[in-house]
Structure 1
Amino acid sequence: MLIVSGWVRNVFSTISGFGLAALLLLGSAQRAHAASPDPSLVAKIDAATFEVVIPREANDPLTYEKPLPLDLLPYQERTDKYFSVGTAFALGHNHYVTAGHVLLVAVGDLTGPPALRDASGHVYAIDKIEKFSLQQDFVMFSLKEQPSGNAALETNTKPALNSLVYAVGNALGTGVVIRDGLYTSDTPEDENGRWKWMRFSAAASPGNSGGPLLDQDGKVIGVVLMKSPNENLNYALPIGEVLNAPDDKATIDKRVSYQLDVMEDDQNGTFKAEFPLPASYADFNATYLKLFYRNNEDQLKALLQQQAGELFPHGAGSNHILHDAPEVSLFPELIVRDRSDQWVYTGHELSRVPLTGNGYVANGYVGHNFLVHLRRPDDMAAATFYDDPKRMMGLLLKTGYWARPIGPEKIKITSMGDPTTHTTYTDSWKRHWKVSVWSLPYINAQMVVFALPVPDGYAIMLRMAPSVVTHDSIIDLQALTAFLNVDYGGTLAQWKEFLAEPSLLPDVLKDARIDFDYGKRFSYQSGNIAFDYPSTLQSVTPDNMLEVGVGYYPNHGALTLQTAVVQIRMNATDPDRISIKRHIAPSADLDDDFKQAWGKLAHKQHPYDGAPYNDGDEMDIATVIDPPGATEPSELYTAFYATQGTHSPDDMKAKLATLTQQLKVKSSD
């Protein structure tokens, strides 16, 4: 089944429907049987059989920690300018056949079009694509230059069961080999039984895909395609299906399934299209990709429409998120539907790599997505940092997570250079993402980075996938932004620079007024919250940590991101803190824990009674702010103050009074 998912679990399953086994014919090389064709026939087979190759990268855009030790690679690999991906064979004058998935390995390739290579090493460029079927997995094409001799194989469309056959192909990329076995049976294709696969016992190895299956007289009876995962039987498409296919069109009719990482539900559909042939490889490549991308977009759209009534902020568990007591998390979190069909936060920091100047890269993952919080070093000015994707990527690479394997060594990548594309994307919550794509030609892959500016750096979603699915990664990540929760934090010095760049600000911070005079006072105003306090309550310094947590609140019939919590700490490690939190009355469907918590707020019970209390090594005090004019408010605000050590009750109450004296909230009722 063709899986067209957010990450596309395997690029080859995406483009062929058979998975890696289809492309490489999984299974180890096996010793050939004793039977072999006549030597004169072997010469003819060799002359008519070719490698399918794609160019290796000519200009590597990457920079490494040291020169690549290419001498560790086998001689053929380090000297070959091409990468062998399969086998093709000549079938009549200037007609060549290979597996469809072999050709599609090169579709969207970063290094150049596919070609054929003969035993002497001569490379022949593809001219026209003449026949193509995605579902039957074959392609017929012509070459711009004809090999000398014009060797071609004859065909047999009615082979006998249990007869001797030869599987021919570029096994393991080491040259064409011929191995024998039996034509054992036929089996209908899985979807609708529209044709029958041939099954045979001749050994096949990675690189055999697209090669001919021959009868004992050297006539083509099928195209070798894939290996059974459970037994030593391989599959071929009968050559009659190729010969009888229409000459004037490419056909695509394949069952597909699309999945998004926030839910386990699949969107099942069909990738179905036709387009005229013959066409140049470049035109075929462009047309196929256009249809492939459009199908992915349609599948994603259908999935979201199918699930619309149950997607967050609807569906089970949504109210837990909408009404829960707000907490600040500077690490990005995805809202996903778990196996119990509840929407929950997921994605936590799993590791942290320090950078110079108090910077760091915090990492985690959800599904196929890397999640990252990048704190920029103190010496990187916001004015240049946010407009320099190369610098951002350079910091990510300092984690050492990305390296190029060369033999037994892994050589760290230190720079990817400038991105191939750099754009912006505004999500449904009116946040402005910087979207960059970098190429890694040596593995024919691209890295897609969605970076959301925050005061101390970036909140990032990242994928690295084969180049053919870069578009798929982009549309998936666009969809996932609707489910990604990002709070905003940084030092006062960082906030000052961040707020000076209006293009970086999400709607939730567009009206933010954050003012401070070091050593004297701090004031904050955004959304429904406004307050200020003198430095006698808490020292006001450039290292103060200001964190603004966001939540989902109704606004004229729609949910918008609004301020949920404001917290100021002495610095990144000091527990002394001030916070103002917004609390929402629980909906009727929520459990008693929510209702009891709301009851404490509504009745100003401990810990919201304005009485100080000890909490480990610190003292805390909190109170509820009476909303203006509401007799039964649907939301309440709390003011909280914490400091280290032991302090008198009167001193703590005076601190709380200083905080609440200039605290004003607006009612949303």
Structure 2
Amino acid sequence: MHHAPAKDRGLLRWAAFALLGAIAFLSASHRTWAASPDPSLVAKINAATFEVVIPRATDDPLSYEKPLPLDLLPYQERTDKYFSVGTAFALGNNRYITAGHVLMVAVGDLTGPPALRDASGHVYAIDKIEKFSLQQDFVMFSLKNPPSGNTLDVNTKPDLNSVVYAVGNALGTGVVIRDGLYTSDTPEEENGRWKWMRFSAAASPGNSGGPLLDQDGKVIGVVLMKSANENLNYALPIGEVLNAPDNRAMIDKQMSYQLDVLDDDQNGHFKAQFALPASYADFSATYLKLQNDFNEQQLKALLQQHGGELFPRGAGSNRILHDAPQLSFFPTLIVHDRSGQWEYAGRELHRVPLSGNGYVASGYVGHNFLMHLRRPDDVKAGAFYHDPKLMMDLVLKTGYWYRQVGPEKIKITSMGKPATESDYVDAWQRHWKILTWDEPHINAVVVLFALPVPDGYALMMRINPAMATHDSLIDMKALTDFFNVDYDGTLAQWKEFLDDSSLLPQMMKDTHLDADYGKHVGFDSDSVAFSYPSSLQTVAPGNVMAVGFGYFGAGNKFTMQANYIQIRLNETDPDRISIRRHVAPSLDLDDNFKEAWGKLLHKQHPYDGIAYSDGDEMDIATVIDAGTGGAPAELYTAFYATQGTHKPEEMKAKLDLLTKQFKIKSP
């Protein structure tokens, strides 16, 4: 669960490359095939080759446990105002070329647009994007104030097995020229529409977008990616760039979409085009809109593809719909497994205590951090539920989130106020808070979905490259319909929670808690109502009440309703009362379900109203008849447990106190 930022922005930016299907370069050993280029040629190459750079963050909204020890960073890294992301080269007539994925790294960037930087450190702003192809992975653009100087000639018909030079900003340390051979051509993977050039000259991160030159220094290709299994790299032939349509951005690529609760992907064709030239800002905005629209369509198609299989309507939902209700205060996702069944996924893996009985429990499912934040007793509910900075500051107390500075990990203590705040209501009419925080130093955005519960929040979080923020938002909105958590808290916490209608899901709008400490407690919901005196169980502010929710259908309409209410003296005391709602099993379920239902129907042990010993406690339970006649579709059980040994008649009298005021409100 650690939020482990990269040493610098590079690693996260390369993660963004992966979202575009680009293959990140790995370091490759250098093998000499020929003598280095003539010094005059080297000078010409250097003058025509540039770093692609993006501004480093100047404002940092985060707070840390101590001042950042920036002196631990290499001099160049701590003093450079820019971050180097790739290479570009000049063809003349104010035409510059780099890899498409290099420029795409800056789409949605939090710190500023990309630019070119020459060997002397002069930075040139991009003017217009002139050509672009997502599939062929190149972009041609102009500069606002281009330098006067050398440009590179082209050779569109290079010879196989000839000497080549890969030129690039290797690992962000300046332009490096490395030699090898042009070894072969290989068809593009999707439909073979063109052939990649393969070459043996070494390449490293930062080489992307640099020129591949023949031995005369003429451009024959654009360096793009490295073979996964051998020391051969790939370039796009320069002829493909020159012959591509002028003044067009072409998007034509197979892409897949995945949702963490489903066991297969949605494959689609991202195909679009738009007119150029355009400023980088306009290009970026247009591309992002097209990509976001495409991903929304993919998500919609994926959900439609599963149609009637989706929980809770699919046949594979019945085990969850009809199983005996349990309580789970750590959030889970309801996921579809390979056998066609829906099941709960996710469990608590870590728990960090906070002051005042608070804690943060954490785990994960798929791309999502899942957390239960219990509000510390010394933090007032009003501030807690309506101050997202305070809430996130408590999450950060876990120490999981830090900033890497050289060899040190500096804990983040606050992210400040969120960059965006909005509300969202899921299919179960639960009210979520959607919050985002920027982390400019790694070009990342924290996306947090927070569901208020009586003792705090159930949380779902992602940390992603800035350009993927929209994808996370639509994903996580879809996932809320599969998000399962029960509600827990002290009677005092429940009172504060129920008094704030802005926090309540629809299923709890009419829920009432009458807790008269030292006298009695009463609970009234859409499905059941009951009350009992303190002679059954001491009634105090620290009593812990848990309400579990089940999914109930009438025809094709499903609602979430309370199906398990339990009240304890405290979190650990075994003395407890509980009310459970049980549903008749569907015909496709196995004999274990039918046997359990049979015991309920016939009030067999342990539901026969007779006290029994269970270790160091005594228990008693009974079935409450709804009085509807015929074969019931659902039944309720009332249960009482207490420590020690007690007379059967005393236990029966206690159970009678629980059931005396019990009322079933939904048949």
User: Does residue 494 of structure 1 match 2:498?
Assistant: no
- Superposition map of 1:340-351 within 5 A: 340-351=339-350
Matched with 2:233 is 234
Matched with 1:339 is 338
User: Does residue 64 of structure 1 match 2:64?
Assistant: yes
How far is 1:667 from its partner?
A: 4.5
- Paired amino acid for 1:14: L
Matched with 2:16 is 11
CA contact under 8 A between 1:548 and 1:567: conserved in structure 2? yes
- Superposition map of 1:110-509 within 5 A: 110-147=110-147, 149-509=148-508
Once residues 328 and 163 of structure 2 are traced to their aligned partners in structure 1, the CA distance between those partners, rounded to angstroms, is 67
Structure 1 residues 8 and 554: alpha-carbon distance in aligned structure 2, compared to 1, 3 A threshold = farther
Q: Deviations over 1:481-533 (max 9, x none)?
A: 11111211111111111111111100111110111100001001102211000
Matched with 1:630 is 629
Once residues 9 and 32 of structure 1 are traced to their aligned partners in structure 2, the CA distance between those partners, rounded to angstroms, is 29
User: Does residue 543 of structure 1 match 2:542?
Assistant: yes
SS of corresponding position for 1:400: coil
Higher deviation after alignment, 604-613 or 32-41: 32-41
CA contact under 8 A between 2:609 and 2:652: conserved in structure 1? yes
How far is 1:461 from its partner?
A: 0.5
Matched with 2:521 is 522
SS of corresponding position for 2:223: strand
Please, what is the CA RMSD of the aligned residues? 1.3
SS of corresponding position for 1:384: helix
Once residues 443 and 239 of structure 1 are traced to their aligned partners in structure 2, the CA distance between those partners, rounded to angstroms, is 33
SS of corresponding position for 1:298: helix
CA contact under 8 A between 2:34 and 2:163: conserved in structure 1? no
Once residues 276 and 581 of structure 1 are traced to their aligned partners in structure 2, the CA distance between those partners, rounded to angstroms, is 62
CA contact under 8 A between 1:511 and 1:527: conserved in structure 2? yes
Once residues 217 and 667 of structure 1 are traced to their aligned partners in structure 2, the CA distance between those partners, rounded to angstroms, is 85
Structure 1 residues 544 and 453: alpha-carbon distance in aligned structure 2, compared to 1, 3 A threshold = same
CA contact under 8 A between 2:55 and 2:82: conserved in structure 1? yes
Once residues 280 and 325 of structure 1 are traced to their aligned partners in structure 2, the CA distance between those partners, rounded to angstroms, is 60
Higher deviation after alignment, 585-594 or 310-319: 310-319
Matched with 2:45 is 45
How far is 1:315 from its partner?
A: 3.3
Once residues 187 and 28 of structure 1 are traced to their aligned partners in structure 2, the CA distance between those partners, rounded to angstroms, is 20
SS of corresponding position for 2:204: coil
- Superposition map of 1:89-128 within 5 A: 89-128=89-128
Q: TM-score, normalised by structure 1?
A: 0.97
Once residues 53 and 475 of structure 1 are traced to their aligned partners in structure 2, the CA distance between those partners, rounded to angstroms, is 30
CA contact under 8 A between 1:316 and 1:343: conserved in structure 2? no
SS of corresponding position for 1:317: helix
Once residues 667 and 470 of structure 1 are traced to their aligned partners in structure 2, the CA distance between those partners, rounded to angstroms, is 42
Q: Deviations over 1:393-439 (max 9, x none)?
A: 00100000001111111100000011110101000100000000011
CA contact under 8 A between 2:358 and 2:376: conserved in structure 1? yes
- Paired amino acid for 1:580: I
SS of corresponding position for 1:202: coil
Once residues 666 and 177 of structure 2 are traced to their aligned partners in structure 1, the CA distance between those partners, rounded to angstroms, is 81
Structure 1 residues 31 and 398: alpha-carbon distance in aligned structure 2, compared to 1, 3 A threshold = farther
SS of corresponding position for 2:41: helix
How far is 1:379 from its partner?
A: 1.7
Once residues 346 and 14 of structure 2 are traced to their aligned partners in structure 1, the CA distance between those partners, rounded to angstroms, is 20
How far is 1:378 from its partner?
A: 1.0
CA contact under 8 A between 2:526 and 2:666: conserved in structure 1? no
Q: Deviations over 1:297-318 (max 9, x none)?
A: 0100000000112111133531
CA contact under 8 A between 2:13 and 2:105: conserved in structure 1? no
Unmatched runs of 5 consecutive residues or more in structure 2: 1-11
How far is 1:556 from its partner?
A: 5.9
Matched with 1:86 is 86
How far is 1:33 from its partner?
A: 4.8
How far is 1:30 from its partner?
A: 2.8
CA contact under 8 A between 1:628 and 1:667: conserved in structure 2? no
- Paired amino acid for 2:553: P
- Paired amino acid for 2:242: L
How far is 1:339 from its partner?
A: 2.9
How far is 1:195 from its partner?
A: 0.6
Structure 1 residues 506 and 458: alpha-carbon distance in aligned structure 2, compared to 1, 3 A threshold = same
- Superposition map of 1:630-669 within 5 A: 630-668=629-667
Once residues 99 and 9 of structure 1 are traced to their aligned partners in structure 2, the CA distance between those partners, rounded to angstroms, is 13
CA contact under 8 A between 1:8 and 1:469: conserved in structure 2? no
Once residues 337 and 642 of structure 1 are traced to their aligned partners in structure 2, the CA distance between those partners, rounded to angstroms, is 36
Structure 1 residues 600 and 647: alpha-carbon distance in aligned structure 2, compared to 1, 3 A threshold = same
Q: Deviations over 1:285-336 (max 9, x none)?
A: 1001000111110100000000112111133531000000001111111110
- Superposition map of 1:11-30 within 5 A: 11-15=16-20, 17-19=21-23, 21=24, 25-30=25-30
Once residues 91 and 195 of structure 1 are traced to their aligned partners in structure 2, the CA distance between those partners, rounded to angstroms, is 22
Once residues 169 and 487 of structure 2 are traced to their aligned partners in structure 1, the CA distance between those partners, rounded to angstroms, is 55
How far is 1:9 from its partner?
A: 11
CA contact under 8 A between 1:630 and 1:667: conserved in structure 2? no
How far is 1:273 from its partner?
A: 0.6
Once residues 629 and 433 of structure 1 are traced to their aligned partners in structure 2, the CA distance between those partners, rounded to angstroms, is 37
How far is 1:32 from its partner?
A: 5.1
SS of corresponding position for 2:386: coil
SS of corresponding position for 1:283: helix
Matched with 1:3 is none
User: Does residue 36 of structure 1 match 2:39?
Assistant: no
State the percentage of identical aligned residues.
73
- Paired amino acid for 2:450: A
Matched with 1:583 is 582
Once residues 209 and 290 of structure 2 are traced to their aligned partners in structure 1, the CA distance between those partners, rounded to angstroms, is 24
CA contact under 8 A between 2:33 and 2:163: conserved in structure 1? no
Once residues 296 and 158 of structure 1 are traced to their aligned partners in structure 2, the CA distance between those partners, rounded to angstroms, is 39
Unmatched runs of 5 consecutive residues or more in structure 1: 1-6
SS of corresponding position for 1:131: strand
How far is 1:576 from its partner?
A: 0.8
Matched with 1:77 is 77
Once residues 74 and 208 of structure 1 are traced to their aligned partners in structure 2, the CA distance between those partners, rounded to angstroms, is 21
SS of corresponding position for 2:645: coil
CA contact under 8 A between 1:131 and 1:277: conserved in structure 2? yes
CA contact under 8 A between 1:627 and 1:667: conserved in structure 2? no
CA contact under 8 A between 1:627 and 1:666: conserved in structure 2? no
CA contact under 8 A between 1:628 and 1:666: conserved in structure 2? no
